[in-house]
Amino acid sequence: MKYNKVTPEIIEDLKKIVGERNVICDPESLEAYSHDEVAEKEYAKMPDVVVKPTSTEQISEIMKLANKHMIPVTPRGAGSGLSGGAVPLCGGIVLSVEKMNRILEIDKKNLMAVVEPGVVTNEINNAIKDDGLFYAGYPMSVETCYIGGNVAENAGGGKAIKYGVTSRYIMGLTMVTPEGDIINLGGKRVKDVTGYDLLHLMVGSEGTLGIFTKIIVKLQPMPIAKADLLVLFKSVKEAIDIVPIIMTNGKIIPTSIEFMDELSFKTSCEYLNEKLPYQEANAMLLIELDGDNMAIIEDQYETIGELCMKNGAIEVYVADNATTIERVWRIRRNIAEAWKLVSPHQSLEDVVVPVSEIPTFMDRLADLQKKYDVSIPCYGHAGDGNLHVTPVKNPDWTLEKWYDTLHELLPEMYKMVAELGGTISGEHGIGHKRKDYIHIVLSDREIEFMKKIKKAFDPNLILNPGKIFDL
C-alpha cells in the first residue's frame, strides 16, 4: 500500500482540529512515540507527527482528514504493549489518547463506569474503592497501562482464572471508525443479542478497526478477604498436576494460580535477597484466594495446602496479611527485572497451551535451550495455560547473533506450541512483532476472513497498518 507523507499543510490542518499545543513535530519528542515496551530497535519506527485529541469529534475530524490525503494513523495508549502494536510502521500520524483521561461517570445503581481511553486502569479502582467496588479486568501492568489499550488488546493477567479477561467487563464503546464515523456499541445492559456482536469484535482488534473514545466497564463488589499460598515443588509436572485437583477435588476456584520455573524464581529470589529455602525446588506455584469471608478463605487455603502436600509439594507458605502477601508476590513481579541484569535484550512471549500440556511444553523448551544455547525462563498463569516464555540474549553474544538465533528459535517454539494445541499469544497481542508467525496457528481461510473484516471497516487501509497480518 502506498501512503502519502504528512505535509506542512496537513500539520496546519491538524493544528486547527486539536490546537497547536497538541501537535508534536520535533524529532526529539517524536522518538518516545516510535516504540512500545519491546526493547529491540528493529521494531521501532518514527512517526511524522503526533496528535493529542481531547474529544470524539476531534478524532473523527482527524480520521476524515487522514482518509482524504491517504495518511496512515496509528492509535496509541500508554505505549506499555509488548507486540509493537502502537508503533507507526508506515510513519504518518500517531494519535495519542493520553489527554482523554477522564472518568466520566460512576454508576453505582447499574454497577458500571464510563471512562475515556486514556484513563490509567488502576485509577478506576482508586475512584471506586471507597464504594466497596472494583474493576476486575486486571492486567499485570495495571498501574501503567491505559484502559483503551487493555480493550484493544483484550488484556488478561493473573486473575483471569476466576475473573476472566477484559472482554468480560466491556459493556459498551463509543468509537470512531477509520473513515471518521462515530458509532456507539453496547450500553449499560447485561444482555444483548441484537445482530452481530460488533462490540466484542472490537475488543482485541488491536487498534486496526476503530479508535475507542468512551468505554463502559462493568464493576464488581470488592472482596474483603484475601490470602496467598507460595508452594514449592520438586518438578514442573507435580506443580501443574495439582492445578485441576484444586478445582475438582478441592472444589475451589482460586483467583489466580501463577507458575514459575526454576530459572525464573531462583533468579528473582537472588535479585531480591530472598531468604526462603527455595534451593531444592524446581517449580513454584503462587495461589491467590479472595472472597467476602476470611473464615472461608482460611478453610480454602488449608484444603489447598493439604492437597499440595499430598501431591508432592516440598513446602507450603501461607501469606495472609499485607506484608507477607507483598513478600511472596514480589518474587513473581520481579522476574523480568531480575533477568534484565543478566541482559537487557529479551523476547517477552506469552504463548498459551492447554494446562495439562505445560509439563510437556517445559520438557521441549529445555531441549530448545540446549539446541540454541540460550536461557529461556518461563513463568505465567498456570490456571489458564498462558506462559511468559522469555528467551534472553547471552551477554557474550553480538546483537547480530542474538537476532539470528531469535529468528530461528521463535518459529520453532511456536510450531511446538501449535502441536500441543496452543497459540502464540494470550494477552500481549500480535501487533507486528508476531504477525509473521500467525499462519502457524491460524488457517489461510481464517486469516482471509479477518482481512475481509479489516477491509470492510477500513477500505483505505489507513488505520494501524502493518499489524496482525499484511494486506
pLDDT digits (tens, 9 = 90+) for 41-91: 889 999 999 999 999 999 999 999 999 999 999 999 999 999 999 999 999
Contacts of 205 (CB under 8 A, 6+ apart): 152
- Gap between the Cα atoms of 365 and 378, Å rounded: 9
Residues 294-315 as b or e (16 or more Cβ within 10 Å = b): eeebeebbeebbebbeeeebbb
Q: Which of 221, 248, 274 is the last residue of a domain?
A: 221
Q: Are 381 and 258 in contact (CB under 8 A)?
A: yes
> Looking at residue 321, which CATH number applies to its domain?
3.30.70.2190
Which residues are registered as beta bridge partners of 378? 389
Q: Which of 201, 221, 241 is the last residue of a domain?
A: 221
pLDDT for the residue numbered 154: 96
Q: Which of 194, 221, 248 is the last residue of a domain?
A: 221
**What angle is formed at CA 72 by the lines to CA 71 and CA 75, rounded to 5 degrees?**
135
Shared domain check, 256 and 317: yes
- Residue 457, in any domain of the structure: no
Shared domain check, 216 and 233: no
pLDDT for the residue numbered 157: 82
- Residue 83, in any domain of the structure: yes
Shared domain check, 50 and 14: yes
Edge-to-edge strand list for the sheet holding 386-389: 313-319, 225-233, 283-291, 256-261, 378-381, 386-389, 351-352
Q: What domain count does the chain have?
A: 4
Q: Are 287 and 270 in contact (CB under 8 A)?
A: no
pLDDT for the residue numbered 137: 87
- Residue 468, in any domain of the structure: no
**What angle is formed at CA 232 by the lines to CA 343 and CA 274, rounded to 5 degrees?**
50
Alpha carbon dihedral 203, 133, 325, 160, in 10-degree steps, equals -30
> Dihedrals φ, ψ of 211, to 5°?
-115, 120
Shared domain check, 91 and 58: yes
Shared domain check, 143 and 237: no
**Mode of pairing for the β-strands spanning 386-389 and 378-381:** antiparallel
Shared domain check, 264 and 367: no
Shared domain check, 300 and 269: yes
Taking only the tens of pLDDT, the chain with its 471 residues reads 799 999 999 999 999 999 999 999 999 999 999 999 997 888 999 999 999 999 999 999 999 999 999 999 999 999 999 999 999 999 999 999 999 999 999 999 999 999 999 999 999 999 999 999 999 987 777 788 999 999 999 999 888 999 999 999 999 999 999 999 999 999 999 999 999 999 999 999 999 999 999 999 999 999 999 999 999 999 999 999 999 999 999 999 999 999 999 999 999 999 999 999 999 999 999 999 999 999 999 999 999 999 999 999 999 999 999 999 999 999 999 999 999 999 999 999 999 999 999 999 999 999 999 999 999 999 999 999 999 999 999 999 999 999 999 999 999 999 999 999 999 999 999 999 999 999 999 999 999 999 999 999 999 999 999 999 999
- Residue 52, in any domain of the structure: yes
Q: Are 169 and 156 in contact (CB under 8 A)?
A: no
pLDDT for the residue numbered 77: 97
> Looking at residue 205, which CATH number applies to its domain?
3.30.465.10
**Mode of pairing for the β-strands spanning 211-218 and 170-176:** antiparallel
- Gap between the Cα atoms of 401 and 198, Å rounded: 44
**Mode of pairing for the β-strands spanning 256-261 and 283-291:** antiparallel
Q: Are 320 and 230 in contact (CB under 8 A)?
A: no
pLDDT digits (tens, 9 = 90+) for 251-269: 999 999 999 999 999 999 9
- Residue 461, in any domain of the structure: no
Shared domain check, 302 and 231: yes
- Residue 466, in any domain of the structure: no
Q: Dmax over Cα atoms in the chain, in whole Å?
A: 72
Q: Which residue has the cell 470524539?
A: 56
Range of 393's domain? 343-444
pLDDT for the residue numbered 42: 86
pLDDT for the residue numbered 41: 83
Amino acid at 295: A
- Identify which of 245, 208, 219, 267 has the alpha carbon closest to the alpha carbon of residue 72: 208
Shared domain check, 211 and 186: yes
Which residues are registered as beta bridge partners of 182? 176
pLDDT for the residue numbered 141: 77
N-terminal to C-terminal alpha carbon distance within the chain: 8
Q: How many residues does the chain have?
A: 471
